[in-house]
Chain A
Amino acid sequence: MAITESILSIVLAEAEKRDATRVKTVKIEVGELTNIVGDCVKFYFELMSKDTLASGAEVEIAEVPLQAKCPLCGKVKRVENLDFICECGTGMKIIAGKELAISAIEIE
C-alpha cells in the first residue's frame, strides 16, 4: 500500500509537471528479490488513482532477474534456486534483482 501510494504520487507529479491531461500507462520494474506482488499493486493503483489524472491507467510490471557477481573472480551469473555460491567457491554479491522503479510513463 505504501509502495502504491508512492508510485501514484511520483506519477502524478510527473504528469502535472508536463501538463498532461491523462496518464495512459505506468511501467514498473520489479526485482525478482523484492516482495512486491504485481496484482496487489495493480489493484491498489486502480483504487487510489480514482479522480486523478492517472485514473484508468494501465500498470505494466516487468520483473528484473536476480543476478550476482563474484568478488573474487568477477564472474556474473543469473542466480537460480537462491544459489549464491560461485564456481570458485566464493559467496557472490547481488548486482540486480532488488529494483523497485518506475521506468517510464505514457501520458497524453
Chain B
Amino acid sequence: MEIKLQQNILASNNKIAADLRKIFEDKGIYVINLMASPGAGKTSFILQTIENLKNDLNIAVIEGDIASKVDAEKVREHGVTTIQINTGGACHLDANMIRGTLGFLNLDETDLIIIENVGNLVCPAEFDLGETVKMVILSVPEGDDKPLKYPRIFIESEVLVLNKIDLLDYTDFDINRLKGTVNNLNPDINIFEISCKSADGIDSWISWLKDKIRKHLKS
C-alpha cells in the first residue's frame, strides 16, 4: 500500500527555529548566524565585531564546533559570554542545539547573539536556527568562483563579508567577477569588503550592524 505524505523532512527543525525566533524577537535580541569555510576568518571577524561593540551592547557568542573548543576560549578571553556546542561530528548546527544553549544565557540582558556555525559552506545553509540574519564570509584565498560551487549559502544570506582583502594583490581574485556572480544569485545581498588583519572596512560593517540592531530594538 502506498501512502502519500508530502512531509517536509526539516519540519521539526523549522518548528523549533520558529519558536526560537519568537523568543529572540520578544526579548529584542538580534541574532547572527555566521557561516563560512574553515579558515575564512570567522573567529577573527567575531573578535573584531566584539571589540567594536562591547562597550555599547551585551553580546553573547555561541560557538559551533565539530569537536574542539579552541575558538570558544579565544572569544571568552575578550570578556563576552561564550557557549560551546560540540556537534559530535555533525557538519552544521541545528535549531535544537541552539535551544539547548538558552538556559546558559541571560536573555533579558542580551542584545546581540553571534552564532559561529560549523566551518562548511554546504550543510549549514539548509538549517534555520531562528536567527535574525544569515551571513556568509568568503576569504580572498578561497577564490571568486566559490558562489558558483556553493550557490545555496549565497542565496540564503543577507550579508556577504569578503575577508582578507589585504591579499588581493597577491592573487587573481577578481572582485568585480565575484560581485557579478553574487548579485545574479541574490540581488538584495549586502557586501562588505574587509580585512580583519588590518581592520580595513570594519567600520562600515559595524555601522551597518549598529543601524540594524537599533531598528530591531525599536520594532
Q: How far is the CB of B188 from chain A (nearest CB, A)?
A: 8
Contact residue among B4, B10, B187 (Cβ-Cβ distance under 8 Å from A6): B10
Contact B155 A33 (CB under 8 A): yes
Interface size on A, residues (CB 8 A): 28
Given contacts A6-B10, A100-B10, A105-B5, contact A91 B90 (CB under 8 A): no
Q: How far is the CB of B90 from chain A (nearest CB, A)?
A: 6
Contact B1 A1 (CB under 8 A): no
> In chain B, residues 79-136, which have Cβ atoms closer than 8 Å to a Cβ of chain A?
89-90, 92, 94, 122-123, 125-126
- The reply to whether the CB of B148 lies closer than 8 angstroms to some CB of chain A is yes
Given contacts A84-B185, A85-B184, A94-B155, contact A101 B2 (CB under 8 A): no
Given contacts A1-B90, A2-B94, A35-B126, contact A101 B152 (CB under 8 A): no
Q: How far is the CB of A8 from chain B (nearest CB, A)?
A: 10
Q: Which residues of A contact B3 (CB under 8 A)?
A: 14, 18, 104-107
Q: Which residues of A contact B151 (CB under 8 A)?
A: 33, 82
Tell me, in angstroms, the Cα distance from A18 to B10 when the chains sit together: 22
Tell me, in angstroms, the Cα distance from A105 to B174 when the chains sit together: 48
One digit per residue, 1 when the CB lies within 8 angstroms of any chain B CB and 0 when it does not, for chain A 87-108 equals 0000100100000111111111
Contact A104 B1 (CB under 8 A): no
Contact A35 B187 (CB under 8 A): no
Q: How far is the CB of A62 from chain B (nearest CB, A)?
A: 13
Q: How far is the CB of B1 from chain A (nearest CB, A)?
A: 6
- Tell me whether chain B's interface is mostly helix, strand or loop, or mixed: mixed
Contact residue among A14, A82, A101 (Cβ-Cβ distance under 8 Å from B185): A82
Q: Which residues of B contact A100 (CB under 8 A)?
A: 8-10, 126
Interface size on B, residues (CB 8 A): 31
Q: How far is the CB of B14 from chain A (nearest CB, A)?
A: 10
Q: How far is the CB of B145 from chain A (nearest CB, A)?
A: 12
- The reply to whether the CB of A7 lies closer than 8 angstroms to some CB of chain B is yes
- The reply to whether the CB of B190 lies closer than 8 angstroms to some CB of chain A is no
Q: Which residues of B contact A35 (CB under 8 A)?
A: 122-123, 125-126, 150, 152
> In chain B, residues 129-180, which have Cβ atoms closer than 8 Å to a Cβ of chain A?
148, 150-152, 155
Q: Which residues of A contact B198 (CB under 8 A)?
A: none
Closest 3 CB pairs of A and B: A91-B187, A35-B122, A100-B9
Q: Name B's A-contacting residues (CB within 8 A).
A: 1-10, 12-13, 89-90, 92, 94, 122-123, 125-126, 148, 150-152, 155, 183-188
CB pairs A–B below 8 angstroms (16 shown) = A3-B9, A3-B10, A3-B126, A6-B10, A14-B5, A25-B2, A28-B9, A33-B151, A33-B152, A34-B126, A35-B125, A35-B150, A103-B6, A106-B2, A106-B3, A107-B1
